[in-house]
């Protein structure tokens, strides 16, 4: 499954990443120079190590779809173990790409910015109001504060927001209404559906903790939708209708 390059000095020690010019090679510090490089899967990926790695092997692959080089430590200095782990890692990468998922993950902050840019286009086209857009921004700011805006999306799972409701209650000394939190959760999951369609996450929604029926609505309000809830519902219906219409006429949506 792999090609042993240890006994020969290849013309290009970077077999799948393209050639490196002589000047760039000389500029590398001694402790960054590659001392061992072995191909796996006919050169589709490599394992390598350098002077500063302490003998630990590293998995390397060029991701054409993302135009980036992916590296990850194999956490072993044992050659056969490194090959086995690298082959497993290669299959995981290929599987993720076939499923439409990206390997490099943006931060929570970057993902929110991408989503808001998309929603801003809907404001410009009159699809949603500037007021609704402001509400979405507010909801996602609370989400970023909760989950930490600098975290990478690939660190999150469906259960990462399991205690969102109780945390929001505690942070506001129980002053926030359950209906407001439910609206925030709906906005957050709209973001997740967008990220799922774009291939950044492998799940379509977060699982939130359940709110008891008797505390699911405020006693002081009528059994009717608030303006915010009405906007949220109509907004979701408009997005669904636009997607359905595009599919009907053979168009694609991003």
Residue by residue, DSSP assigns 57-80 as: -EEEEEETTTTEEEEEE-----HH
Nearest partner of 86 among 62, 57, 65, judged by Cα: 57
Residue 89 has pLDDT above 80, yes or no: yes
Residue 167 has pLDDT above 90, yes or no: yes
Residue 137 has pLDDT above 80, yes or no: yes
Long-range own/partner contacts, residues 137-143 (CB < 8 A, 24 or more apart): 139/183, 139/184, 139/187, 139/188, 140/112, 140/115, 140/116, 140/187, 140/188, 140/191, 142/168, 142/184, 143/108, 143/112, 143/184, 143/187, 143/188, 143/191
Residue 105 has pLDDT above 90, yes or no: no
Check residue 253 and give its pLDDT: 43
Check residue 226 and give its pLDDT: 63
> Residue 211: pLDDT band by 50, 70, 90 thresholds?
confident
Check residue 103 and give its pLDDT: 75
Cite the DSSP H helix spans in the chain.
22-27, 79-98, 108-124, 130-147, 164-171, 178-197, 227-248
Q: Distance between CA atoms of 205 and 186, rounded to whole angstroms?
A: 9
| 37: helix, strand or coil | strand
Find the mean pLDDT for residues 232-243.
Answer: 66
Check residue 20 and give its pLDDT: 47
* Block residue for tokens 């009159």: 126
Give the range among 112-116, 138-142, 221-225, 227-231 with minimum mean pLDDT: 221-225
Residue 95 has pLDDT above 90, yes or no: no
Find the mean pLDDT for residues 63-67.
Answer: 80
User: Higher pLDDT residue, 1 or 179?
Assistant: 179
Share of the chain above pLDDT 70, in %: 70
Give the range among 23-27, 46-50, 86-90, 184-188 with minimum mean pLDDT: 23-27
Q: Could you tell me the residue ranges of all domains in the chain?
A: 2-98, 108-248
Residue 41 has pLDDT above 70, yes or no: yes
Q: How many other CB atoms are found less than 10 A from the CB of residue 237?
A: 10
Rank 175-179, 211-215, 218-222, 240-244 by mean pLDDT and report only the highest: 175-179
Beta bridge partners of 69: 62
User: What does the block give as tokens for 141?
Assistant: 């700011």
Residue 91 has pLDDT above 60, yes or no: yes
């Amino acid at each position: 499954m792999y090609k042993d390059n240890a006994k020969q000095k290849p013309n290009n020690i970077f077999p799948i990443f393209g050639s490196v010019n002589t000047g760039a090679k000389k500029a590398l510090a001694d402790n960054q120079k590659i001392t061992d490089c072995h191909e796996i899967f006919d050169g589709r990926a490599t394992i390598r190590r350098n002077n500063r790695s302490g003998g630990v092997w590293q998995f390397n692959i060029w991701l054409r779809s993302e135009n980036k080089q992916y590296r990850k430590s194999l956490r072993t200095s044992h050659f056969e173990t490194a090959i086995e782990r690298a082959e497993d890692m290669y299959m995981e990468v290929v599987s993720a790409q076939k499923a439409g998922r990206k390997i490099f993950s943006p931060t929570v902050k970057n993902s929110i910015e991408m989503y808001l840019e998309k929603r801003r286009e809907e404001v410009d086209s009159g699809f949603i109001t500037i007021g609704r857009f402001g509400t979405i921004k507010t909801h996602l700011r609370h989400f970023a504060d909760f989950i930490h805006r600098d975290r990478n999306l690939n660190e999150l799972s469906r259960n990462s927001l399991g205690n969102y409701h109780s945390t929001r209650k505690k942070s506001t000394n129980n002053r926030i209404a359950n209906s407001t939190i439910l609206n925030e959760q709906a906005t957050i999951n709209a973001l997740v559906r967008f990220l799922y369609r774009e291939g950044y996450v492998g799940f379509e929604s977060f699982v939130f903790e359940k709110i008891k029926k008797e505390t699911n609505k405020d006693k002081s309000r009528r059994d009717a939708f608030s303006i915010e809830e009405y906007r949220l519902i109509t907004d979701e219906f408009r997005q669904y209708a636009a997607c359905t219409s595009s599919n009907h006429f053979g168009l694609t949506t991003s």
